[in-house]
Amino acid sequence: MAGILIEESKLHELKKMGVKDSKLLAHSKRKELFKKIVLMAKEYSIIIIEPWEVDEALNSKKLNLNWLEAHKSAQIINGLKPERVVIDSPSNNVVKYKAYLMDLLDNKKIKAVVEHKADVNHVECSAASILAKVTREDEVEKLKKKYGDFGSGYLTDPLTIKFMKENFEKHPEIFRKTWAPYKELVNGKNQKNLSDFGEVEK
């Protein structure tokens, strides 16, 4: 996850540079924009969430993936200390998510715009999404150097499915233990073709 601190007067420059939702950009363009964004921003913050943190959240009675994201967002916002913030809500229930997040912020009076798919509608969120996406891609490449090629890491990728089948016991440290396909394999319930698992997770 990532956040940037930038003067509002520079938002038009981000648009002129071609900044938009990271999912709509090619890898090479994201890499190019990453360098420009970090130079333009007053500050930026990138947080890497490890598999065990996701597992802890899903095994907790108090947390889930949305609340974990809220805690990480609050960590970024509290560190950057903006006067106004635009936040991409992972939940369609924006009112509930915003209330939960605001309770975690040091500055309770901050002007906060919280929207589902804010990374599509607000260029500052798009810029942050590029920082997050490029960082993920860099981390994936580090893992590939250590463990071998596993493709994209998403279950829409046959190479990812093949790698998981062959390595879930050999390298359990890189899999989220609460991930349904991983649990299916561990529990020996792998009669079902793993390609049926079409969920793409962040």
DSSP one-letter code for 23: G
User: What's the pTM?
Assistant: 0.87
d(CA 100, CA 70): 7
Q: Does residue 195 or residue 152 have the better pLDDT?
A: 152
Domains of the chain: 2-140 (3.30.420.10), 148-196 (1.10.10)
Q: Would you say 97 and 66 are in contact if contact means Cβ atoms under 8 Å apart?
A: yes
Nearest Cα to 123, choosing from 42, 45, 15? 15
Q: What is the band of 183 on the pLDDT scale with cuts at 50, 70, 90?
A: confident
pLDDT digits (tens, 9 = 90+) for 132-168: 999 999 999 999 999 999 998 888 899 998 999 999 9
pLDDT digits (tens, 9 = 90+) for 88-143: 999 999 999 999 999 999 999 999 999 999 999 999 999 999 999 999 999 999 99
d(CA 174, CA 176): 7
pLDDT digits (tens, 9 = 90+) for 1-12: 999 999 999 999
Structural tokens at position 184: 């299916």
* Helical axes 94-102 vs 65-80, angle rounded to 10°: 50
